[in-house]
Amino acid sequence: MLLEEQQTNIYKRLISYAAPYKWRIALSMFASLGIAGSDAIIAYLVKPFVDELIIAGNLDMAKLIPFFVVGLAAFKGVSRYVQEYNIRTAGQQAIQDIRDQVFGHAIKLSMRFYTSNSSGSLMSRILNDVNVMQSALSDVLVTILRESLTMIALTGYAFYADWRMALMAFIVIPAAALPAAALGKKIKKFSRRGQGAMGTVTTILEQTFSGIKVIKSFGTEELEDQKFRSENRNFFNFIRKTFRYGAASSPVIELLTSFGVAAVLWYGLNLVIAEEITKGELFSILAAILLMYTPLKRLTRVNNVIQQAIGASERVFEILDQQSEIVDAADAVVLPRSRGQVSFEQVDFAYDDEPVLRNFSVQAAPGEVVALVGPSGAGKSTIIGLLNRFYDPQAGRIMIDGHDIRNVTQQSLHDNLALVDQETFLFNDSIRNNIRYGCQTAADEAVEKAAQQAYADEFIRLLPEGYDTMIGDRGLRLSGGQRQRICIARAILRDAPILMLDEATSALDTESEAMVQQALGNLMHDRTTFVIAHRLSTVMHADRILVLEDGRLQESGNHQQLLAAGGLYQRLYNIQFQEQA
C-alpha cells in the first residue's frame, strides 16, 4: 500500500510540471471530445446502415454515405491534430522545465555529492531518464485523454442501446486490471534497473572519450571495447525483460476481452432469433463494444509506459531531493573586495571518518605568499578546498578580513578568489571565451592584456584564428604549457585579491615551467597567494612556507629558516636535491 502511495505521489509530482501549460492541455481535452464523439457516432450509425441500407435497400441513404464518411473523417482528423499537437507540446515544455531544473539544481550541489556520483550516471539521469519521463508527459497524456473519453462515450452508448449486453462486456474490464497491474510492476522494476545500467554505459563512454589518449598510449582499445560490450549487454538484459512483460499485456487483454465479446454475441444472437432486437441493433452494440475494447488495450499499454516513467522519475527526483551541504546562511552578508587577510583558526576536517586536518591554524597577511608543502595526503589541497568553501570544516573557522566565510554569500566569496589548478580544464570554446570565463563582461582589450601578462599572447596570435580559435574538448589542441598559461590569463582577468595555485606547474617540462613561472609572477603581484607545490624549487622564494604532515602543521618559516631547523622540510629538500643530482 505504501509503495502504491509512493508511486501515486511521484506521478502527481510529474504531472505538476504540466500545470503551467494547462490551457494547451484544456484545448487538447476539448479536441479529444471530438475524437470520442466521432467513434460513438460510428457505432450509433451501424444500426441504420445495416437495417435501412443493407437489409431494406434504401438507395437515398446510400447516396449520402460517401459524403458522411469523408466529413466524419475530416472532423476526426482535425480533432486528432489539435489534440496531439497541443498535448505533445505541453508535455515537451514540461520535460524541458524538468531538465532545466535538474541541471540547475545539480550544479549547485556541494562537492561531496560529486565525489559519490559519477558524471556518467548524472548525465544518464538528465538525458536518458528524462527522455523516458517525456513519454509520460506527452504520449501518455495523449493516450489517456483520447482513449478515456472515447471509452466513456462508447460505454455510454452501449449501455444506452442495451444495458444487459453492455454489462456482459464491461465486467471484463475490472478482470483485466489485475494482470495489467502485475505486469506494470514488473516493467517498473526492470525499467529502473535498466536506467541504472544505462548510467554505467554512459559513464564508460564519458571516461573512454575523455581518456582516449591514455587508452591509445597503452593500446587497450580492445579491453575498453569488451568492457563497453559487457555493460551494454547488461543494459539489454534488463530492457529485454521490460519488453517481455510489455509484450505480454496485449495478448492477456485480448484473451480476456474475447470472453466479453463471445458472451455478447451469444446473448445478442439469441435476441435476434427471438426477434427482440434487429440485426442492425446487434451489430451497432457489437461495434460499440469492439470499439470500446480498443481504447482499453491502449490504456493497458499506457500503464506499461507509466511504470517505466515512474522508475525513471524516481532516479531524477533523487537528484532534485538531494540537499546541498553548502548553502548561504539566512543572514549571509556580501563580502566586499577583500584586502587579502586570511586566517584558519583551529580547523578540523574529515571527508569521512579519517581526519585530514587537525587543529590547523595559520594567518596570511595581505599580499603575502604562503606555500604549502608536505607528503601526499598531508592536507594541502584540502586547505584550498576549504578556503573555496567546497566543504565546511567540522570544527574551527576560516576568516577573510574578519568575516567567517560561512556567514558571507558564496557568490561574493568566490568573487574574491581565483584558482589555478593542476588540472588545466578548458571548455570546448574559443580561447577568448575561455580567458573571459571568470569575467564575462570583460572587453576584448582586457582579454588580450591578460593573455600578454600570462605570456600567452604570442602563441595565440600564431594560431589560425588567433583568439577566436576553437581549442577542442578540454583544450587538447594545445600543449600543457599553453593550456596552463590560458588558465593563468583567466585568473589574471578575474583580478581577485586572493589567489590559490594548486600544483600549477607540476605537469610541465622545464621550458614551459619557466614561462609559466614568469606568468605566475605577474599573477601573484599584490595578491595574497596560497601555493601548493611538490617541487620545493618553485616555492623557495615564498614569504612563508608551511610544512604539513598527517593533517598537522609541523613547521613554518622561510626557506633558509626551515633548512636551518633540520626538520621535515630539510629532509624533503635533501631527497629532491639528491633526485635532481
Could you tell me the residue ranges of all domains in the chain? Answer: 15-320, 342-580
Q: What is the mean pLDDT of residues 315-320?
A: 83
Give the architecture-level CATH label for domain 15-320: Up-down Bundle (1.20)
Inform me whether the pLDDT recorded for 581 exceeds 50: no
Rounded to the nearest integer, the mean pLDDT of the chain is 77
Q: What is the mean pLDDT of residues 124-148?
A: 73
pLDDT score, position 127: 78
- Bridge partners (DSSP) of residue 498 are 417, 528
Place of cell 535498466: 194
Q: Which of 32, 17, 10 is nearest to 137 (CA)?
A: 17
pLDDT score, position 407: 92
What's the pLDDT tens digit per position in 44-102?
Answer: 666 666 665 555 555 565 566 667 767 777 887 888 888 778 877 887 788 888 888 88
pLDDT score, position 329: 87
What's the pLDDT tens digit per position in 412-468?
Answer: 998 898 888 877 777 778 888 888 887 888 888 888 888 888 888 888 888 888 888
Residues 6+ apart with CB under 8 A from 114: none
Task: Round to whole Å and give the CA distance between 147 and 36.
Answer: 8
Give a three-class secondary structure readout of 77-130. HHHHHHHHHHHHHHHHHHHHHHHHHHHHHHCCCCHHHHHCCCHHHHHHHHHHHH
Q: What is the mean pLDDT of residues 2-21?
A: 72
Out of 322-331, 425-434, 571-580, pick the least confident.
571-580
Task: Round to whole Å and give the CA distance between 212 and 231.
Answer: 19
- Bridge partners (DSSP) of residue 555 are 547
Beta strands in 391-472 (DSSP E): 395-400, 403-404, 417-421
Grid coordinates representing 523?
599573477
Inform me whether the pLDDT recorded for 2 exceeds 60: no
What's the pLDDT tens digit per position in 487-538?
Answer: 888 888 888 888 888 876 655 555 566 766 777 777 777 888 898 877 776 7
3-state secondary structure of 57: coil
Residues listed for the chain: 581
What's the pLDDT tens digit per position in 206-218?
Answer: 667 666 655 665 5
pLDDT score, position 577: 66
* 342-580: CATH number: 3.40.50.300
Task: Round to whole Å and give the CA distance between 8 and 189.
Answer: 16
> Do residues 445 and 405 touch, judged by C-beta distance below 8 A?
no
pLDDT score, position 6: 62
492-496 long-range contacts, CB within 8 A, separation 24+: 492/450, 492/453, 492/454, 492/522, 492/523, 493/435, 493/436, 493/438, 493/439, 493/442, 493/446, 493/447, 493/450, 494/418, 494/438, 494/439, 495/418, 495/439, 496/415, 496/416, 496/417, 496/418, 496/527
pLDDT score, position 171: 67
The answer to whether the Cα torsion of 509, 513, 514, 519 is positive or negative is positive
pLDDT score, position 399: 92
3-state secondary structure of 530: strand
3-state secondary structure of 416: coil
Q: What is the mean pLDDT of residues 152-158?
A: 73
Task: Round to whole Å and give the CA distance between 461 and 457.
Answer: 6
Q: What is the mean pLDDT of residues 228-246?
A: 76
- The amino acid at 182: A
